[in-house]
Structure 1
Amino acid sequence: MKRTYSPLMLLTLTLATACSNVPPASQAQGTPERFGHVAIVPLQSSDTPEDLAQIVGGTVLEWNDCAAGEHCSALVGLNHDLKAQSVGALKGRDIYVEPNRDVFGGGGAMTATMGGKISMWSGGKISMWSGGKISMWSGGVFAPLPENTALWKKINLEQGQLLAPRLGAGVTVAVIDSGIDLAHPAFEGALSDPGTWRDFYSNDGVPQEEGTFGVGAYGHGTNVAGIVLQVAPQAKIMPLRALGPDGSGDVVMIAQAIDWAVARGAQIINLSLGSTEVSKVVQEALQRASDQGVLVVSSAGNEDRNKITYPAAVAETREVGNSSLSVGSVDLNDLKSSFSNYASNLEMVAPGEQVYAPAPEGRMAAWSGTSMAAPMASGALALALSAGAGPAGLTNLVKQTAANVYSNGANAAYAGKLGEQGRLDLKAFLSSAVH
């Protein structure tokens, strides 16, 4: 069951008038229609959503306006084959149709049963300030969550935060995931305007996590968002729910969430999710994000395979390589995590084991997975942007300044498959990014 929130949290969402205009039909509240197929239809200046819906006999989900340098197309949900007369009526346009597969999943697992602990949250909000000064560290201990002290020292978080004293202020990170616990005290003052929130799984404006504690993906998105804020405590989180309680989401939901985040001002998108199948519909959404200079961070997957999941697998391609980043996981000794995927096209790693963060129902809990490593990189990018670094080339810089995880024969079985260098180093990255 979803919780009840104040009227402010339930503001009616307005349509964007720029790049991803969403027709009113898709804004109706309630359980969304699940489409069997989704089509990309190139647009002409005379097209209207109403005319296009009638021609193809489907539902127009997105209307990406024609503008210089932007892709000009509509996303249409279909529950039937596209008829020959429909194709003919569209004057020979290069229409692409793919199954709306439910193939995306959020990785990682709550690891309280593996020596961790679950307890009620007692640290107040994550963005802790005292008299205008940073109070995140006390005597070398990470104040909000002492359990993460060793982990944050490994990536030089304290030194990195000193190099970027605005701590992510002015930067919005869209977390496309299973939702978050919107009422958790750790997120007080840390979320974007409610008008930017969206639940694509339930088709409403309240992306609240749903499920049973300790089962499935319940808590996944809350943990991911909490990790971003521990690295960049003054950043804003834009919560977007595109995964259900079991951690799965379909092509339409992921693509819509990416376009939504871009249209509503996110500078960074965190995708702690992946699929073994490539989707052109999602790929075009990623391309639109890249065209707008939005940085996208994706997790590599948790199957211990010599192949990383999509969209992490395309993060270094020519099309989106200047704005995307793939992240795998290592332990505190910089050894590949037993679960982490690896590959020659994996760009970097971060410590993703036993990472404590907020959990639903006002709690805290530890999760392990490449899903936990990715938001560390997202937080790092937020620190750099808030310190005045431009987005161009920033994903390349963060991997180029990574700490070497291959020295003295370490990770010999994975040489060159945990990134060119390896593990996130905030001190080295921010020293290069802001000086």
Structure 2
Amino acid sequence: MTHRIPAAFALLTLSLLSACSTTGTPAQASQPQARYTYVATVPLQAGDTRESLARAVGGEVLAWNEEGCVTGAANDCSALVGFTPKLGSAGVLSALSGRKVQVEANKDVFSGGGKTTAIANGTIAIWAGGTIAIWAGGTIAIWAGGEYSPIPQNSGLWQQIKLEQAQQLAPHVGEGVTVAVIDSGIDLQHPAFQGALADASTWRDFYAGDDVPQEEGVAGEGAYGHGTNVAGIILQIAPKAKIMPLRVLGADGSGDVASVTQAIRWAVEKGAQVINLSLGSAENSPAVQAAIDWATAQDVLVVASAGNENADHITYPAANASQGSAAPNLLSVGSVDPQDLKSSFSNYGAALEVVGPGENVYAPAPDGRMASWSGTSMAAPMTAGGLALALAEDLKVPVRSLTGAMAQTAGDIYAGGANASYTGLLGQGRLDLAAFLGQTIR
């Protein structure tokens, strides 16, 4: 059941770790659709049908990708089949002779991450008279003396990544660009999102199996508010971009391989130019990576958070951002604090490409409120919004150069011995949107 916080709450400080257009009507608390223990990626052959393949594997066909059967793209000439030990077995799969069938765990493989640090009553004046989508209004009036007037609490963060200068360089502030937020859903009724969402025909809840990707849960617990915060960060960076909300995570922050895979393909098919994945897995999912490979081959840009375990390796799919066919259009993102020092929670490693200020980032929260979160999940949408700023302008570089340019123009976070223990393990530096746009747009 979705719970509401009484309006009497003014500000509540929490330290709870999570598992990390037109409006719709919020969904009732939903049960997840069938969640299989395993998924198999099965190459298609002539004569295959959904029914015959389901029978052969002993499961349910969740996705049928046949475009590559004509173009020769192997990863896009396959079906994704879900099954459990009771429905399928290694013996059944081996009966698909001559096919390279990839079997992997499905249930709860992915998680969103971060920490809610504060919740505020959202009825305050920041929502009055408009939405995030019109805060910029085509002008720079939202800035006064370097302070970000809609949410003053974020002023220091936005100064750190030079957002004011970036919005001056990119006056369309994301107009005409759609960013898919593959996450825990969003609060579809929040005033901040009115006029800021892609057409409702593009929305999807892959967790519940319906078309209403509404956040569900209890404030301060699990992933409730995670997707709303992520979407709100993107819109502060690129106020005229459109958000395509796609839900793949439950209230506890966990999600399945099948849902993430389907959501990536859906996002591309429905016209997203940027995909934000503020989620990750300890294991490399062949199915998810194949979907990303397919998306990036069509010049869709994908950003992924690095994880929040303070580990010396980053989560997948972010860990694949520096290798493979998707690398030119896939960006891995970690977190630093306001002094450009590694956040205590941020994962790090040679595969990390860029970092952003991911601590205490304020954005919309469910039930019309505002909240701050900390996590690499909050740094990733800053880069997604920055890519949207560039895509809305006249580029002087190919789209496939954008994620590389974003990393290459990052600010130095190693000078003077800073981050000495992590030299070369925090990417090329901290996101600098003004430098990035200066190199990529006319």
TM over 0.5: yes
**Aligned residue type for 1:381:** L
**Aligned residue type for 2:182:** I
Q: Does 1:74 align with 2:98?
A: no
305-314 or 121-130, which deviates more? 121-130
Matching residue within 24, 38, 41 for 1:9: 24
Measured after TM superposition, the shift of residue 32 of structure 1 is 1.0
Q: Does 1:56 align with 2:57?
A: yes
3-state SS in 1 of match to 2:307? coil
3-state SS in 1 of match to 2:328? coil
Provide the aligned C-alpha RMSD in A. 2.0
Partner residue, 2:16: none
Q: 1:292 to 1:130 in 2, by over 3 A?
A: closer
In 1: Cα distance, 2:314 partner to 2:346 partner = 9
In 1: Cα distance, 2:243 partner to 2:23 partner = 17
Partner residue, 1:256: 262
In 1: Cα distance, 2:292 partner to 2:137 partner = 41
Partner residue, 1:410: 418
**Aligned residue type for 1:9:** G
Measured after TM superposition, the shift of residue 409 of structure 1 is 0.9
Matching residue within 350, 353, 356 for 2:359: 353
Return the TM-score normalized by structure 1.
0.90
Partner residue, 1:208: 214
Partner residue, 1:280: 286
What is the aligned length?
409
- Is the CA contact 1:56–1:83 (under 8 Å) kept in the aligned structure 2? no
Partner residue, 1:40: 41
In 1: Cα distance, 2:90 partner to 2:44 partner = 18
In 1: Cα distance, 2:92 partner to 2:332 partner = 42
125-134 or 46-55, which deviates more? 125-134
Partner residue, 1:119: 121
Task: Note the residue ranges of structure 1 that are not aligned, 5 or more in a row.
Answer: 11-28
Partner residue, 1:94: 100
3-state SS in 1 of match to 2:372? strand
In 2: Cα distance, 1:316 partner to 1:213 partner = 36
CA deviations 1:271-324 (Å, max 9, x no partner) are 111111111111111111122211110111111111111111111112211010
**Aligned residue type for 1:105:** S
3-state SS in 2 of match to 1:383? helix
- Is the CA contact 2:22–2:199 (under 8 Å) kept in the aligned structure 1? no
122-131 or 274-283, which deviates more? 122-131
In 2: Cα distance, 1:406 partner to 1:130 partner = 33
CA deviations 1:131-160 (Å, max 9, x no partner) are 753432233221221111111011110110
Measured after TM superposition, the shift of residue 31 of structure 1 is 4.0
In 2: Cα distance, 1:130 partner to 1:235 partner = 11
Matching residue within 322, 325, 339 for 1:319: 325
In 1: Cα distance, 2:138 partner to 2:242 partner = 18
Return the TM-score normalized by structure 2.
0.88
CA deviations 1:376-432 (Å, max 9, x no partner) are 000000101111334211110000000000011111111001112x00001100000
Q: Percent identity of the aligned residues?
A: 59
CA deviations 1:335-380 (Å, max 9, x no partner) are 1111111111110100001100000000001101110000000000
Q: 1:98 to 1:58 in 2, by over 3 A?
A: same
- Is the CA contact 1:128–1:135 (under 8 Å) kept in the aligned structure 2? no
- Is the CA contact 1:155–1:425 (under 8 Å) kept in the aligned structure 2? yes
Q: Does 1:432 align with 2:432?
A: no
Measured after TM superposition, the shift of residue 248 of structure 1 is 0.6
**Aligned residue type for 1:78:** F
Task: Note the residue ranges of structure 2 that are not aligned, 5 or more in a row.
Answer: 4-20
- Is the CA contact 2:24–2:189 (under 8 Å) kept in the aligned structure 1? no
- Is the CA contact 2:36–2:107 (under 8 Å) kept in the aligned structure 1? no
3-state SS in 1 of match to 2:159? helix
Q: 1:30 to 1:405 in 2, by over 3 A?
A: closer
In 1: Cα distance, 2:409 partner to 2:274 partner = 19
In 2: Cα distance, 1:304 partner to 1:329 partner = 10
3-state SS in 2 of match to 1:120? coil
Measured after TM superposition, the shift of residue 50 of structure 1 is 2.4
- Is the CA contact 1:69–1:291 (under 8 Å) kept in the aligned structure 2? no
3-state SS in 2 of match to 1:41? strand
3-state SS in 1 of match to 2:70? coil
Partner residue, 1:13: none
CA deviations 1:60-116 (Å, max 9, x no partner) are 11111233153211111112334646643x45222222221412111111012xxxx
Matching residue within 186, 192, 204 for 1:198: 204
- Is the CA contact 2:336–2:343 (under 8 Å) kept in the aligned structure 1? yes
